[in-house]
Amino acid sequence: MPPEIKPGRVRLVGAGPGAADLLTVRALRAIEGAQALLYDALISDDVLALAPATCLKIQTGKRAGRASMAQSTINRLMLRLARRGLEVVRLKGGDPSIFGRVGEEQDFLHGYGIETEVVPGVTAASAAAAQFGFPLTHRGEARRVVLTTARLEAGALQTDWSAAADPEATLAIYMGGAEAAELASRLIAAGRPADTPVAIVERASAPDAVLTRTSLHTLAAGAPESSGGPVLIVVGDVAAQAGARVLAEVAVTQRAARTG
């Protein structure tokens, strides 16, 4: 009889917002040691290229508003690969513990005795704030950060509007591009001032990331066009600072070039 195969391990790894140089060292080592890689559709080619050439790579989809592999199928696939003794990496955009279903996947795998490890990653709100020079919390403006999604149930937006309308909270809305105008209207109706600053960041951390600065009132009248990349909407007084430092640095550089 063939010897019993020792089950492999599944690492639930955060790939960050897209840029390969924002991976943690632990995430990099996990990808480099992967024998099977199950990755979301938004994972960049640069990150995927870090996996060994012999690694089995399977795209699972998982992109808002688009067809993707069912979660139950992903669960069974991770289990099957781990039972073959493989080192499995489930690679997710951002941080796996923020809208990444990491709890569901851990519970499923633990139920079959499969060892797991969670490797955190940089989430899109942090990446957008760093790239465009604004804080998520700021003395006198924002004491809290609320991370939420534009979740639809039975065709209606499901959000804790009392928390979202907190004037001392920065609201970071993931996957909200398609519902941006309705979100803005709901926030105004819940008591957030219509002139509250809004920063919309598409493809956070990418070299071609796009920043749009607006207000809840303007956004409620119609969302700006998107090229189809992942969209993060940041609502709150801190959003007024988005891009300001970047523009100031560009102006300084341009003045230096003219006088140099």
In degrees, rounded to 5, the angle at the alpha carbon of residue 202 between the alpha carbons of residues 105 and 210 is 155
Q: What Cα–Cα distance (Å) separates residue 254 from each residue in 15, 194, 259?
A: 35, 35, 9
Mean confidence (pLDDT) of the chain: 88
Is the CB of residue 8 less than 8 Å from the CB of residue 81? Answer: yes
Listed in sequence order, the DSSP H helices in the chain are 25-32, 45-48, 71-83, 102-111, 124-131, 161-164, 180-189, 216-221, 244-259
The answer to whether domain 10-119 and domain 124-245 are alike in fold is: no
pLDDT of residue 179: 86
Confirm whether 62 is a catalytic residue.
yes
Domain boundaries, the chain: 10-119, 124-245
* pTM for this predicted structure: 0.85
Fold of 124-245: 3.30.950
Structure token digits, residue 221: 């009248």
Name the active-site residue from 1, 6, 62, 237: 62
pLDDT of residue 223: 80
Name the active-site residue from 6, 21, 40, 57: 40
Tell which wins on pLDDT, 229 or 85: 85
Q: pLDDT by residue (tens digit) across 155-213?
A: 556 666 777 778 899 999 998 888 899 889 989 988 999 999 999 999 999 999 999 99
Average pLDDT over residues 85-111: 96
Name the active-site residue from 166, 175, 208, 237: 175
| Interatomic CA distance for residues 32 and 206, integer angstroms | 22
Of 72, 92, 99, 91, nearest in space to 176 by CA: 99
Residue 110 pLDDT exceeds 50: yes
Fold of 10-119: Cobalt-precorrin-4 Transmethylase; domain 1 (3.40.1010)
Confirm whether 40 is a catalytic residue.
yes
Pairing of strands 56-61, 151-153: unpaired
Lowest mean pLDDT, pick from 26-40, 146-160, 173-187: 146-160
pLDDT of residue 245: 57
